[in-house]
Amino acid sequence: MDRKLTREALRLMELHQAFVRATVVRATGSVPGKVGASMLVRGDGSTTGTVGGAALEEQVKARALEAFRSRGGDLLHFDLQAWKPGGLPSLCGGSVDIAIEYVPARPNVLLWGGGHVAHALATILPTLEYDYSVADDRPEWVGAERFPTADRREVVAPGALWSVFDPASFTHLYLLGYDAMKDLEVLRSALEKFPNEIGLIASSAKREHMYSTLRTQGVRREALARVRSPVGLEIGAESPAEIAVSVVAEIVRGMHPDADVPAVLPARPAVKEEDARGRSA
């Protein structure tokens, strides 16, 4: 990969944006893109670099966009021989193998509430190079001494959260607050404005009260199904540190959707309101 592509890949990673890297890994005969030729494809279909141009590149771009949907990679073979069945409309005469690598968005986590679970999360997330910011309306709970590695520490009222933070810049939102009504206000706005993963720490009673209130305000059950509650992998976590481990483990698993998950950490179905078990912050 040349320096331009490397810089662009790093830029997208710092912006927490997923991309696909397509690389020629084998070339036989006459082909325009030699081994090592690479192209980055962004989610909007724009590209940097080249794997050979023309019909080949359009085919690779289309398969890259499929990789965004499947969140997985592939190894593709193309014959640049118009006269061959299945060949591309090219007279080059050779063939290429191209690796499609899906690079997921590097996690950028927003923590609402600077309590014990947030503090425990803040000790783990940086070890994985996952970025995080923390917001609370209590100044003493978001200080630099408490969250020294946070990208941002903001004292903000629940209703002003999205005027301070850009919701699209975060991959995960966790509601770890200390006040049910304030958590409810953040959750209501997040369901409208936050496009990615939402996790809520709540007892079953608190969660049902919040959901019931939101339903009376017109929020559909399908929207509430977006919320992960309880949060984290089911490992029997109880303490704030254990809950933080389960939450981070769930984020890691989401980064590797094709991984063979051991039976001890089964993938859970969407949590139903009536049988969800809560955890306190």
The crossing angle, in degrees rounded to 10, of helices 180-193 and 204-216 is 50
**Which helix (H) or strand (E) is 136 found in, with range?**
strand 131-136
Residue (of 100, 101, 98, 78) closest to 36 by Cα position = 98
Span 174-200, pLDDT tens digits: 999 889 999 999 999 999 999 999 999
Q: Is the pLDDT of residue 279 over 70?
A: no
Q: Give pLDDT, residue 224.
A: 93
Which long-range contacts does 123-130 make (Cβ < 8 Å, 24+ apart)?
A: 123/244, 124/244, 124/245, 124/248, 125/149, 125/248, 128/248, 128/252, 130/106, 130/248, 130/251
Domain coordinates in residue numbering, the chain = 3-103, 108-255
Span 228-240, pLDDT tens digits: 999 999 999 999 9
Q: Is the pLDDT of residue 84 over 80?
A: no
CATH number of 108-255: 3.40.50.720
